[in-house]
A and B are shown apart, each in its own frame.
Chain A
Amino acid sequence: MKRREKKKKSKKYGNNSQEGMSRRKFLHQSGRALLLTTSYMVISVFADKSNVSAGMCDVGCTTACVQSCTSSTVVNPDPCSSCTSCTSGCTAGCTKWCTESCTGGCTGGCTKWCTSGCCISCIKSTN
């Protein structure tokens, strides 16, 4: 009985179908994953995205300065990452940034470089 339960849990993580949660989405939501065998112990590390509270840019301003400095330089979230759970598929325009599982296609919103439009569509499609 115990063994069956274990298998179920493992399957939940590993299932990449539409019914189950995608592995990546699971990682993102949970923030942690552990893989433990007799040979190794592997832990996924995700930082808190809101780790900057009183950000201080080099010259020393606070709060919004960091947003100004990083909002353009740091892509958040990355379309590739978000789109990985896109099972219904992205179109041709989306291939550059979406990853391999985005086969079928995000539609109209996906024009620029598969940015938020695509990601949002993708996320919606799996929710």
Chain B
Amino acid sequence: MPQLHNQDTDLKLTKNLIILEKGKDKLLLVNSIDPQPLYIKRGRDYIKRFLESVRKLGTAEKVKKAYPQDTELLKMLMDHRIVITSADQKNGSDKSAMAYDKKERDDKSAMSLYLLLSQSCNLACIYCLNGIKTYKKDKNLMMREEVAYRSIERCLDSINPNGKLEVVFFGGEPLLNWPLAKKIMTHCEENLGERYKDKEIYYHITSNLTILPPDLIEWAKKYKITFLCDIDGPKDIHNECRPYKNGRASHARIVKNIKRLTNSGLRVALRSTITAKNQDCMLEIAKHHKAIGGIGSAFVPVNPVNSDEDILPETMIPSINKLIRGLAKVYKSKIWDTRDLFPFNVYASHVHAGGKAVRGCGAPYGNTPVIDVNGDVYPCIYLVGIKRFYIGNILNKSYPDNNILDWMMDFLHVDNMVECRECEWRYICGGGCPVGKLTVFENSMASPKTVKYCNSIRCDYTKKIIELLLWDLAKEAASSIKEGVSNKVTVAINNTINC
């Protein structure tokens, strides 16, 4: 807490200061390691001069002498950690700590366990992640009960009391192995419930929803299963991106099935993989997701490398500028509430006191293990089949190979990445989704354009999302004050008004 009665307090500006400007007079200041934004709706130049003076004068005493009328301002800047003390820098509260992180890996309150129930799929999406070699698509491989049961037990064992486990049925197309999904849920409820009564289990299916087993709705209601399905656009665009193997259109059947689920009161979130094919119609996609009854909408730029480490043709890769413009349009349209629009909802969860993120995701912590049909484990769904990310087999002691996870923890820490460690945004973006960095950068098949695309997704694209979000939050804060929502919050100085 700022102790301004100590006149000799040394003052500095945080090194993690994000400064955004808009219009003639607006300014937004955020310390990314402790994101409590401060919105200057009026008086940008004054505040900038004040900050410059703080930097030059360097002590509370001198600042108070030079700006006797602005003591409250200084306190507010310190409250929001825009201005910090030397002690903050010295004791490490203005930079991240790396030492404790690996212990945090064993302190799990939530895990998402991905079970690849089937390696096969009935669709032939133009950007399919599942390489022919690693997924052996022609062999119709299915997971065995033993693998699934063991996976769930090992995850439950590693979660803290009162923790949550989300069992994600994934594939291939998981509904091709629906009987196993039912056995798994029965096993969890009837055999594991008592043993792990202090832990909660949730079920989720990520499916193309071309198939709807007759008893799916009944089971989904009983076990509160949530769904996620990819709809890449209105009919024609979707059909071009996600046809059946024989080339037939899939859109009509999927939409019909989504409606059957939603009409039964089930929750289906929708997702769109953005490629060069649908980059120009993101707003239409958002509207379409809404129209067909989705509970949320996710926009995910295509991953340009598959599990065989083959690179997608450049013609499939979307333009970063179009992606940013398209996503901005979707966000500003307010078709979706922020909390239901990925990736804005995830970054919004970072914007609060202490919301720093030193890595882009939970994969290095082992929080999202993906179990292949034979029990092989990978830390992220995008890394399945890539041997250097193999972290053991769930059926034996080779899992978890913490050497791989340790390496990922270090490699993906924002203070370790050369391209991130001097950037003031790093603690709020966490370096973005690291998949491109892990799979593309050392891939000799990747063209400079593909590498640039992956870099931009992690950086420019992510920053733009956060910037949009921050301005929106600022606008909300200003309007809530205007509306008198925050009537108990008032600071008045000089000849100023109370709200």
Task: Report whether chain A binds chain B.
Answer: yes
A1 interface residue (CB < 8 Å to B): no
Q: Which of B37-63 contact A (CB under 8 A)?
A: 37-43, 46-47
Q: How far is the CA of A98 from the CA of B340 in the complex (A)?
A: 34
Return the chain B residue nearest A87 by Cβ.
Answer: B1
A127 interface residue (CB < 8 Å to B): no
Q: Among A9, A27, A73, A112, point to the contact of B79 (Cβ < 8 A).
A: A27
List of B residues within 8 angstroms of A95 by Cβ = 91
Most buried by B among A41, A53, A72: A72
A30 contacts B486, CB within 8 Å?
Answer: yes
B228 interface residue (CB < 8 Å to A): yes
A123 interface residue (CB < 8 Å to B): no
B355 contacts A23, CB within 8 Å?
Answer: no
Q: How far is the CA of A13 from the CA of B73 in the complex (A)?
A: 12
Interface-lining segment among B176-184, B246-254, B395-403, B475-483: B475-483
A61 contacts B361, CB within 8 Å?
Answer: no
A54 contacts B46, CB within 8 Å?
Answer: no
Q: How far is the CA of A77 from the CA of B487 in the complex (A)?
A: 25
How far is the CB of B336 from the nearest CB of chain A, in Å? 10
B110 contacts A67, CB within 8 Å?
Answer: yes
B492 interface residue (CB < 8 Å to A): yes
Q: How far is the CA of A57 from the CA of B360 in the complex (A)?
A: 11
| Contacts across chains A and B counted by CB atoms under 8 Å | 325
Considering the complex of A and B, which 7 residue pairs feature the smallest CB-CB distances, nearest first?
A: A78-B354, A40-B43, A64-B166, A101-B1, A32-B486, A51-B348, A69-B362
Q: How far is the CA of A78 from the CA of B73 in the complex (A)?
A: 24
List of A residues within 8 angstroms of B350 by Cβ = 70, 74
B357 contacts A74, CB within 8 Å?
Answer: yes
B111 contacts A9, CB within 8 Å?
Answer: no
A interface with B by C-beta (< 8 Å): 6, 9-10, 13-14, 16, 22-24, 26-28, 30-49, 51-82, 84-85, 95-101, 112-113
A51 contacts B1, CB within 8 Å?
Answer: no
Q: Is the contact region of chain B dominated by helix, strand, or loop, or is it mixed?
A: mixed
The interface bits of chain B over 425-436 (1 if a CB of A lies within 8 angstroms of the residue's CB, else 0) are 000001001010
Q: Among B230, B346, B499, point to the contact of A55 (Cβ < 8 A).
A: B346
**A51-B348, A64-B110, A78-B355 given; A40·B46 CB < 8 A:** yes
**A43-B41, A72-B365, A99-B93 given; A63·B202 CB < 8 A:** yes
A22 contacts B481, CB within 8 Å?
Answer: no
A-B contact pairs, 24 of them (CB 8 A): A10-B492, A30-B489, A34-B490, A35-B491, A37-B493, A42-B73, A45-B38, A51-B345, A52-B345, A54-B340, A56-B269, A56-B342, A57-B112, A61-B114, A61-B204, A68-B367, A68-B368, A73-B357, A73-B360, A73-B362, A75-B355, A82-B354, A98-B91, A100-B85
Q: Is the contact region of chain A dominated by helix, strand, or loop, or is it mixed?
A: loop
Return the chain B residue nearest A97 by Cβ.
Answer: B93
A44 contacts B477, CB within 8 Å?
Answer: yes
B1 contacts A100, CB within 8 Å?
Answer: yes
List of A residues within 8 angstroms of B490 by Cβ = 9-10, 13, 34
A76 contacts B100, CB within 8 Å?
Answer: no
How far is the CB of B316 from the nearest CB of chain A, in Å? 18
List of B residues within 8 angstroms of A43 by Cβ = 38-41, 474, 477-478, 481
**A13-B491, A72-B104, A72-B365 given; A58·B435 CB < 8 A:** yes
B166 contacts A100, CB within 8 Å?
Answer: no
**A9-B498, A43-B478, A51-B349 given; A73·B359 CB < 8 A:** yes
List of B residues within 8 angstroms of A100 by Cβ = 1-3, 85, 87-88, 91
**A31-B486, A36-B497, A41-B41 given; A68·B271 CB < 8 A:** no
A51 contacts B338, CB within 8 Å?
Answer: yes
